[in-house]
Amino acid sequence: MLALIEGKSQREAYRSAYKAGRMKDETVDQCACRLLKNPKVSARYEELQAAVRGEAEQRSVATAADVLEELSNVGMGRVKYPAYDMFGNEHQQFPSVTQRTKALELLGKNYGLFTDKVNMSGAVPVVITGGDELED
């Protein structure tokens, strides 16, 4: 099962788990397929796959705090980032004014700084007035 999770084929996984040295490839394929169709085996396989996917997602997905921190670094010009000249040579450079402004704009939107909306709460009476069609 772990061999499948590691990326091996069903045939390779079956051969590594069972004594199948003398078996033909076709027979191994049939046995491996039959084994994976077993509800208990397939459920365990799905469980292991989900765990591996979950770990990979946790390593690769930035959190909201990560995004806000990076936007803050760009917006405030705290960190130099790799840049390249026209010859492909790499050098470190602070974000441009345009990049800093965009990062600050995104931060401001996140914190609701640029809104014209007025939040009101409470009970508001509703009065309906109209013509003849409301009298029926």
CB neighbour list of residue 93: distance below 8 Å, 6 or more residues apart: 80, 81, 82, 83
Is residue 45 within 8 A of residue 1, CB to CB? The reply is yes
Q: How do residues 65-120 score in pLDDT, each as one tens digit?
A: 888 999 999 999 999 999 998 998 999 999 999 999 999 999 998 888 887 766 77
Residue 36: pLDDT above 90? Answer: no
Is residue 89 within 8 A of residue 103, CB to CB? The reply is no
More confident residue, 62 or 14: 14
Position 131 scores a pLDDT of 60
Q: How far is CA 74 from CA 36, 79, 83, 88, 103, in A?
A: 50, 7, 14, 23, 6
Q: How do residues 3-27 score in pLDDT, each as one tens digit?
A: 888 888 888 888 888 888 888 999 9
The C-alpha atoms of residue 90 and residue 81 are separated, in whole angstroms, by 10
Name the DSSP class of 101: H
Is residue 11 within 8 A of residue 29, CB to CB? The reply is yes
Q: How far is CA 50 from CA 46, 71, 72, 76, 83, in A?
A: 6, 32, 34, 39, 38
Confidence class for position 49, pLDDT limits 50, 70, 90: confident
Closest CA to 91 of 99, 82, 100: 82
